[in-house]
Structure 1
Amino acid sequence: RRALPEILSQQEQWDNHFIRLLCELAEELQALDERLKRYDRRLKQLAQEEARIRRLQEVSGIGPVTASALVAAVGDAGQFKNGREMAAWLGLVPRQHSSGGKSRLGHISKRGDSYLRTLLIHGARAVLNACGHKEDRRSQWLKSVAERRNRNVATVAMANKNARIAWAILSREEEYRVM
């Protein structure tokens, strides 16, 4: 895709049929980009009209795409007793191996909706990258987790926290309050 303009500028080196195909391909790519921009604008417009999506977007790391996907998949979150259940449903909690009274926590379970989990993790990664010099409680907590463990563990912990916050917002129909 990046090399296409350069190839088209060197038309004399290529066969006319090949150049025509590349021109058609470039036009199709441009049309797809325009369609994606239209869909993105429409999604943002719908996100502003729907109260649940608007409330979810107040949370750092949850944008219009993630919020609308959460509302579409979870609805009012009534099927979950608590936020931990929803986080577990999304596969954002560690697997637990227990034997002889000793409990070991492993990697995240990766069960449930992989698309939603991916969106939440990408949003959490953006929050982690942006928390550099911030002094609020959430940023301090996230930086301390990243220092104690590693960045990936901190990212998943933030995604888990966002899933629990999303459950509270959807199930209680409240506005997000920063603690």
Structure 2
Amino acid sequence: NINYRGTANWSQKHLRWLTELVLPHPAQHIVLQEFLHTINERISRLERLDNELTHHVHQWRYYPVVKAIQAMRGVRLLVATGVVAELGDLSRFDHPRKLMSYLGLVPSEHSSGGKRHIGAITKCGNGRARRLLVEGAHTYRYAANISTDMQKRQEGLPKDIIDIAWKAQLRLCKRYKKMIAKGKHYNL
């Protein structure tokens, strides 16, 4: 039984470890080499596609919105571009609740008479944009801070956008901790 003792799977360190493995049968080694070759090809393809996206998104009319959204924690170029491409002009939502409803990120409600039961999120609306935002939201489980990567993304943005992003980070990190303390599963 072969186990990797490192922390991050598919990192450069992990890939080096895989190339240094000595397997008992030559056929196993050939299959491993083929798998590693496929992984390296896919990583190169992703890098090429990321470069193309970066090049083209800078010329897009919604690039200022993409740049502003990246001030948020957990939102880099790919997530910001995907969200803006899925939602289009965000000014059509006159209140954040309407945007959240459009994304299906509001709780469902079952009411009858005087009883009111609030359930899970509705998940109606744009599933791709919702998935991108949920993916980015996982970063709020860590303590609020401004990383050097985030500082670079925020360069050139107006102070009010940076302030909004910081307030949102504080609020969401606090809310996550409160929900965990109440017994909510970390994935929910």
The bucket for the TM-score relative to the shorter chain is 0.5 to 0.7
Hey, what does 1:44 align to over in structure 2?
Answer: 54
Residue 34 of structure 1, CA deviation: 0.9
Comparing 37-46 with 116-125, greater Cα deviation is found at 37-46
Between the aligned partners of 2:173 and 2:32, the Cα distance in structure 1 is 48
CA RMSD of aligned residues (A): 3.4
Q: Compare the two structures and name the one with the higher helix fraction.
A: 1
Comparing 60-69 with 109-118, greater Cα deviation is found at 109-118
The equivalent position to 1:72 in structure 2, one of 74, 79, 85, is 85
* 2:125 pairs with 1:115: no
Question: What secondary structure does 1:60 align onto?
Answer: coil
Q: TM-score, normalised by structure 2?
A: 0.61
Question: What secondary structure does 1:150 align onto?
Answer: helix
C-alpha contact (below 8 Å) 1:145/1:154 kept by paired residues: no
The equivalent position to 1:104 in structure 2, one of 117, 122, 133, is 117
Residue 145 of structure 1, CA deviation: 2.4
Between the aligned partners of 1:102 and 1:22, the Cα distance in structure 2 is 59
The equivalent position to 1:83 in structure 2, one of 96, 99, 104, is 96
Between the aligned partners of 1:24 and 1:150, the Cα distance in structure 2 is 43
C-alpha contact (below 8 Å) 2:74/2:137 kept by paired residues: yes
- Show the 5 A alignment for 1:27-42: 27-42=37-52
* 2:146 pairs with 1:146: no
User: Higher relative contact order by CA 8 Å / sep ≥ 6: 1 or 2?
Assistant: 1
Count of matched residue positions in the alignment of Structure 1 and Structure 2: 150
Percentage of pairs with the same residue: 27
Structure 1: gaps (5+ residues): 157-179
